[in-house]
Structure 1
Amino acid sequence: MKDKVSNPIHDNHGRPITYVRLSVTDRCNLRCFYCMPEKGMKFLPKKELLSYEEMERLLSILAELGIVKVRITGGEPFVRKDLASFLANIRKITGIEELHITTNGVLTKPYVEKLSQLGITSVNLSLDTVDRQRFKMLTRRDEFNQVMETFHALLDHNIPTKINAVVIEGKNEQDIIPLAELARNYPVSVRFIEEMPFNGSGGGYQSLQWDYHKILNTLKTRFPEITKIADKPHATAMHYKVPGFKGNLGIIAAYSRTFCGSCNRIRITSQGVLQTCLYDEGTLNIKDFIRTGASDEAIKDLFIGAFGQRAKDGFEAEKKGPASAIHKSMSIIGG
């Protein structure tokens, strides 16, 4: 990695923009009910997605604006062909210091050695249960064993690994403690995430039953010696340590939106839409400007303009958008 070439751009609330989450596909090989409907998803034809070359160009421009951290998301990133070559090219971009991946782990194991060779900074592995039957119910696919093989392969290759578990009322509350126990035996961070209403079905909810308070109280009941530990700057998770654990535990208040005040991240969807907040409807379609011949400087100006109009938090962004935006699929938003 070469040194970054620019100080970070700050938004209109004084927050630095240093982190981009880039979705490489809207497709996924699971059908987790809190993310997307079982049937009826209309996936985009390839021509409507950003090409790898277009993504590399955008990342180079963003690096010049001070982006140093990239997370590759989907859908499921490993559904898209030639992902490893794309990752290798990202590692060559001047200014990009960290490269992370979020995956469901079903197709990931054959690429783990390559990820290690590339020096991937970390992998977030989505896993909402350690029970095979409940996994099948939650994801509508019987792929639990493949995910666990990926989990162990990541650890065998010393790739820093985080478990992302969405807590859903009436579905997997009983898995909170078994999932937490993974951090006892393995050097992983197990993070429990509040459920969000981006399920693609339009069937949102009025209130959240399992918020971060309830998740923490559940952990305290089982692990009374749990203590708060320091979080890194701009962290979305609140982290905790249990004596004797090799790893740690975390809680991400994604629905409560407690971390908006220090948010340093933007999102670019697989179809090239910039989102300066998870809860906004999309600020601009960068793909359209790329394909009509916009220069790097023009695209840079578009980014700077968008960063200067960010919502203060997810609640403000949600109010500004159409009522239908909150019911999009997480596979479209890009995690």
Structure 2
Amino acid sequence: MLIDGHGREVDYLRVSVTERCNFRCQYCMPEKPFSWVPREELLSYEELFEFVKVAIDEGIRKVRITGGEPLLREGLDNFVKMIAEYKDGIDLALTTNGYLLPQVADKLAKAGLKRINVSLDSLKEEVAEKIAQKNVLKKVLEGIQAADDAGLKIKINCVPMRGVNDKELVDLIEFCRKREYPIRFIEFMENEHAHSGAKGYTSEQIQEIIGKDYKFKKVERTGSSPSQDYEMEDGYVFGIIEPHKDDFCATCNRIRLTASGVLIPCLYFEDAQSIKEAIKNKDIKKAVEILKDVLAKKPEKNRWSEDSKISSRAFYETGG
């Protein structure tokens, strides 16, 4: 069992396989050039898997593959297969923008992927293009359908942006409710890499918008999910991820690994340590030592709850 310095059990590893992305979303990396870390500086799938095995052996029970956009890295199904076959019962999931899913959803499901989170910020072509700075909606919707056809469990993520997609929250709920997909609205997390004019909504403001059309009640929070859920009268449940709330970090069970081998204890802070050398030298003992040291120094909470606090963290490296 892995325990951090504040007594929280950590059983969830998020693995970013690339910082590259084919979108330039306003809330993430709109100004970053289309460049990437040289391939030789990245850990191979086999090397990433060596650390994943260490983490699972130490108590990790959930692994989520992220990016950047993870589907840009070729052979991802092979990495999924390695993890799926290592130990029964591992909750193996993927977060994606969905654009490349039509070509690979079936392969990923056959490799052992169980669940998938897809970013869907708008159902209007022009709005989706404004957010992603690319004409993406048709391919994303095709990707969601391909994942559904492949038997993957689907969850939709949406970041409500002021003056951009805030008129569509009800439409997005209806889209998901008809298909029995859960949807989670994510408070915009202020960061230095976002568009300078990007503004989001608080959880209360999101609830107020949705409340004009629906009645719903708060669901008591259980476990370590980052989402606060709300149940509508017909039983459909939507969630809001609230990083600006003081209690958001109270049950944090997550740690993150980048494609270049950097182990990150908190999404907000830059504090991190590299396991790259230990893994390349096959020094498993050292990798475990670094993992436990990173956990011991894991911050108690982020600083988004403080007025005007902006993170310097690049989400495209850590997968959010």
TM-score by length of 2: 0.92
Give unpaired runs (5+ residues) of structure 1.
1-7
In the alignment, what sits opposite 1:300?
288
Please give the secondary structure, in 1, of the residue aligned with 2:15.
Answer: strand
- Which digits, 9 at most, give the CA deviation of each residue in 1:22-61, with x for residues without a partner? 0000001111121102443542101111111110000001
Partner-residue secondary structure (3-state), 1:40: coil
- 1:148 corresponds, among 141, 144, 160, to 141
Instruction: Give 5+ residue unaligned stretches, structure 2.
Output: none
- Provide the rounded CA distance (Å) in 2 between the counterparts of 1:138 and 1:185: 25
Runs of 4+ in structure 1 over 6 Å off: none
| Correspondence 1:229 to 2:219 | yes
Alpha-carbon deviations, 1:265-295, whole Å to 9, x = none?
001111111111101213201113333x251
Q: Which residue is equivalent to 2:17?
A: 24
Q: Give the TM-score normalised by structure 1.
A: 0.88
Task: Work out which of the residue numbers 152, 155, 164 in structure 2 matches 1:162.
Answer: 155
Match of 2:269 in 1: 280
Residue 185 (structure 2) aligned to one of 184, 192, 201: 192
Which range is displaced more, 115-124 or 302-311? 115-124
74-83 vs 144-153, greater mean Cα deviation: 144-153
Deviation, 1:203, is: 4.1
Once the two structures are superposed, what CA deviation does each residue of 1:114-134 show, in whole Å capped at 9, x if it has no partner? 233234231000011111110
Aligned twin of 2:61: 68
Cα root mean square deviation, aligned: 2.3
Q: Which amino acid aligns with 1:141?
A: K
CA distance in 2, matches of 1:241, 1:154: 25
Taking the TM superposition and a 5 Å limit, the aligned residue runs for 1:99-114 are 99-114=92-107
In structure 2, how many angstroms separate the alpha carbons of the residues matched to 1:162 and 1:306?
30
Aligned ranges for residues 307-326 of structure 1 at < 5 Å? 307-315=295-303, 326=311
More off after superposition, 109-118 vs 27-36 = 109-118
- Asked if structure 1 preserves the Cα contact closer than 8 Å seen for 2:28 and 2:195, the reply is no
Q: Distance in 2 between matches of 1:244 and 1:203?
A: 39
**CA 172–77 in structure 1, closer or farther in 2 if over 3 Å, else same:** same
* More deviation, 21-30/226-235: 226-235
Q: Is contact 1:135–1:144 with CA below 8 Å preserved after alignment? A: yes
Task: Give the corresponding residue for 1:3.
Answer: none
Residue 204 (structure 1) shift:
8.3
Given the alignment, which residue of 116, 131, 144 partners 1:123? 116
User: Matched residue of 1:136: which SS?
Assistant: helix
Q: In the superposition, relative to structure 1, how do residues 204 and 41 fare at CA in structure 2: closer, same or farther (>3 Å)?
A: farther
Of the three residues 287, 290, 308, the one matched with 2:279 is 290
Query: Following TM superposition, by how much is the alpha carbon of 1:96 offset from its aligned partner in structure 2, in angstroms?
Result: 6.1
What amino acid is aligned across from residue 97 of structure 2 in structure 1? N
What's 2:252 paired with? 263
Q: Distance in 1 between matches of 2:303 and 2:96?
A: 27
The alpha-carbon distance between structure 1 residues 45 and 36, as it changes in their structure 2 partners (threshold 3 A), is same
**Aligned partners of 2:254 and 2:99: how far apart in 1?**
27
User: CA offset at residue 330 of structure 1?
Assistant: 1.5
TM-superposed deviation, 1:81: 0.6
Q: Is 1:12 aligned with 2:1?
A: no
Q: 1:285 to 1:257 in 2, by over 3 A?
A: farther
Report if the CA contact (8 A) 2:119-2:156 is conserved.
yes
Q: Report if the CA contact (8 A) 1:63-1:96 is conserved.
A: no
Structure 1 Cα separation of the partners of residues 106 and 300 of structure 2: 41
Q: Establish whether residue 238 from structure 1 lines up as the match of residue 223 from structure 2.
A: no
- Give deviations 1:213-263, integer Å, cap 9, x for gaps: 111121122102x12234441010111222336x52110013446320000
Instruction: Please say if 1:214 is aligned against 2:197.
Output: no
* Distance in 2 (alpha carbons) for counterparts of 1:174 and 1:142: 20
1:333 matched to 2:309: no
User: C-alpha displacement at 1:316, in angstroms?
Assistant: 9.6
Relative distance call for 1:75 and 1:196 in structure 2 (3 A) is same
Judged with a 3 Å threshold, the aligned counterparts in structure 2 of structure 1 residues 241 and 75 are, in CA distance, closer, same or farther, namely same
AA matched with 2:279:
I
Q: Indicate the SS of the match to 1:222.
A: coil
Question: Matches of 2:282 and 2:119 in 1, distance apart?
Answer: 37
Matched residues, percent identical?
32
